[in-house]
Amino acid sequence: MKSLPIRLITLTTIVLATALFRLVPHWPNFTPIAALALFGAAMFERKWLGLVAPLAAMLLSDALIGFHSSMTAVYLSFGLTWLLGVWAIRRTARQKVSAGRIAAASVASSILFFLVTNFAVWYGSSFYPQTMSGLVGCYVAGLAFYNGTSFFLNGLAGDLFFSALLFGGYYLLQMRFGELKPVRVRNNN
């Protein structure tokens, strides 16, 4: 039986360890899941593993925390965040993952999460009129501070913090342990 590559084991361990953060007390929306989706999209050679890992971590932690009526929108937004990561933070033979692309993708994923989940709150809601002004009202309410906390700003801060932690930490691990670097296929033309 062939053993799993050390890189895959390390990446999976990082993903699962970071996902445990959802189970400890934290600020509302200050979670690592969007950063995990971006990290998985950029770092796993088998891209589908980069999507499965954060969604599985979400599902496991949601089984303990509890589910709610907007779960479909939450999972959809993380799937879209993963696609954003595949597109925006892709690694090629000539191009390394850059801090600028990671930061831009983190900000974009925060905005995407906000738009998707608040749309889901509005859609079919009896609290907001099913009109354009009702949708705008829902988005405005989503930006508002609740008990001194902005869910959007916490999400943005969490996405930036955890992206920096995951990508930066993994970069430092790669510098220390060369076997964690991706294998590049050489083109002998």
pLDDT tens string 147-185 = 667 888 899 999 999 999 999 998 998 898 888 877 654
- What is the dihedral angle through the alpha carbons of 15, 16, 21, 23, rounded to the nearest 10 degrees? 150
Q: 3-class DSSP state for residue 52? A: helix
User: Does some domain include residue 187?
Assistant: no
What is the rounded CA–CA span in Å between residue 105 and residue 102? Answer: 5
Token representation of residue 59? 């599902």
The boundaries of the domain holding residue 23 are 6-178
78 compared with 183, residue with greater pLDDT? 78
User: Does some domain include residue 157?
Assistant: yes
Q: 3-class DSSP state for residue 104? A: helix
User: Does some domain include residue 185?
Assistant: no
Instruction: Tell me the sheet residues that pair with 150.
Output: 145
106 compared with 69, residue with greater pLDDT? 106
pLDDT of residue 148: 65
- From the CB of residue 39, how many other CB atoms can be counted at a distance below 10 Å? 30
pLDDT of residue 183: 63
**pLDDT tens, residue by residue, 118-157:** 999 999 889 999 999 999 999 988 887 666 678 888 999 9
Split into its structural domains, the chain has a count of 1
User: Does some domain include residue 24?
Assistant: yes
Q: Write the CB contacts of 162 (distance below 8 Å, at least 6 apart in sequence).
A: 18, 21, 31, 32, 34, 35, 36
User: Does some domain include residue 188?
Assistant: no
CB 155 within 8 A of CB 111: no
Q: How confident is the model at residue 189 (pLDDT cuts 50, 70, 90)?
A: very low
Tell me the CATH number at 94. 1.10.1760
Residue 188 reports pLDDT greater than 50:
no
User: Does some domain include residue 94?
Assistant: yes
User: Does some domain include residue 1?
Assistant: no
Q: How confident is the model at residue 70 (pLDDT cuts 50, 70, 90)?
A: confident
User: Does some domain include residue 174?
Assistant: yes
- From the CB of residue 56, how many other CB atoms can be counted at a distance below 10 Å? 14
Burial state string for 145-164 with b = 16 or more CB within 10 A and e = fewer than 16: eeeeebbbebbbebbbebbe
pLDDT of residue 94: 59
